[in-house]
Amino acid sequence: MEQTLPTRAHRGDELTLTIDTLAHGGAGVARRDGYVVFVQGGIPGDTVRAVVGKAKRAYAEARAVEIITPSPDRIEPLADHPGAPWQVIPYAKQLEIKQEQVDDSLRRIGKLDGYTLEPIIPAVQEWRYRNKLEYSFGTDDSGQLICGFHTPGHWEDIVEVTDCMLASEAGNKAREEVVAWCRAQGLGAYDRRTSEGFLRNLVVREGRRTGEIQVRLVTSPGKLDSDSLIQATPSANGLLWTRLESLGETTMGGQTALLSGAEQLEEELGGLRVSISAEAFFQTNTEMAEQLYALAIEYAELKGYERLFDLYCGIGTIGLLMAPRAAELWGLEIVEDAIADAIKNARANEIDNTNFFAGDVRLVLRELVEKAGRPDVLVVDPPRAGLSQKVVRRVIEAAPKRIVYVSCNPTTLAPNAAQLVEAGYELTKVRPVDMFPQTPHVECVAQLERRSG
């Protein structure tokens, strides 16, 4: 009997859909005669009018343009903010969904079971929790310079933000000072269609414990009246200027000059005093980073005699918090500035059983094992893409007794964990941590133990 294929959608179609569930990444999931449509802006229980942007044989991607019948769970948004797509979902429900999605990733993608899924740790603050925001410059319909975020699904358009509800009042003030100065100077925004123009991005970073503010203006090559910019930004403890020639949307690379104040941001985390370079990675929710790292320390189960490896160590935060509980720490990170920060942070906190090296984990982990010996405990905190299969193989070769995997994406944790389980490890427990309220992102910490025999 010939199987009837579901009726596929086409680009530009307007569909009336009822959202059933939420996909990983936050899109609503609707089904139309067996055909799956992922709908940005829809939550379970909504009936929406949606416009299809991308259509394939098995599924389509669409954007809700009208909520016809709102979900019983839907609440009024607090902020006109594309960076808070889940703000229409009650916070308790957000936590429930994130917990379920971590479990679903491990079971469905990783084909894993037998682990203990511990309850999600909720955020300390539901709003104004970010210590770093990257804004983009643009131009509104009247030709005025604006600063905000990309419109979802439109890389070339910017939505102006006047009060970013994810930033503190101090962070908002710093942004406003720079934008006001740029307007007074008559500076124009970089045009992402033509690759012409000057102002690209504004990065505002805050020491939540120290109160310090670091401001970095990212532009195309050109001239800047740095003296007047310094006068116009009294909120900044450190003011930097990055000039980029690349065409893509990035705040990394280029030439960065310190205009005034301190080159590094000072912060405190879990009793550590740390210095953070402009391009170094640091968890963007300080209060929840403390809870995330406390959980990693708990899962490491250090007794004091262990050799500890910290891969993708960044400025060394996790490792330095663990080092007093271990015999020795070896940290590895590809960003040289971050390693310089890690060494400086170890000295500043008088932690002397540490060794930090700059290098690609994929290429130099074998060499580190030869130099330091096999680790007893290995902590890994990779980027959202997770670990490549080659890096997982290198970790397996290193043969740590215990692995603590700090993940910012359960859909990449799952295949990594499955590869480790296949190689002789047991996934013992996992706990989600809500670092980013009002968004679909969820972090978690997983513990894997090497099976004996």
Q: Active-site residues: which are they?
A: 408
Is 446:114 a contact under the CB 8 Å cutoff?
no
- Phi then psi dihedrals of residue 174, to 5 deg: -60, -45
d(CA 274, CA 282): 10
Instruction: Please report where in the chains the tokens 């170890």 appear, as a residue.
Output: 346
Is 40:63 a contact under the CB 8 Å cutoff?
yes
Q: In Å, how far from its chain's centre is CA 205?
A: 14
- Both tokens of 112, joined, read 């894993």
Provide the residue count of the chain: 453
d(CA 195, CA 198): 9
The amino acid occupying position 117 is: L
Is 190:199 a contact under the CB 8 Å cutoff?
yes
- Phi then psi dihedrals of residue 203, to 5 deg: -110, 120
- Spell out a b/e string for 347-364, using b for 16 or more CB atoms within 10 Å of the CB, else e: eebebeebbbbbeebeeb
Write a three-state SS string for 113-155.
CCCEECCCECCCCCCCCCCEEEEEEEECCCCCEEEEEEECCEE
Give Cβ neighbours of residue 186 (< 8 Å, ≥ 6 apart).
none
Pairing relation of β-strands 14-22 and 28-32? antiparallel
Is 403:419 a contact under the CB 8 Å cutoff?
no
Compute the half-sphere exposure of residue 237: CA atoms within 13 Å on the CB side of its CA: 16
Is 199:189 a contact under the CB 8 Å cutoff?
yes
- Phi then psi dihedrals of residue 330, to 5 deg: -125, 115
Instruction: End-to-end CA distance of the chain: give it in Å, rounded.
Output: 51
Distances (CA, A) of 410 to 104, 216, 256, 435: 9, 32, 34, 13
Q: Which helix (H) or strand (E) holds 42?
A: none
The interaxial angle of helices 389-398 and 410-422, nearest 10 deg, is 50
The amino acid occupying position 62 is: A
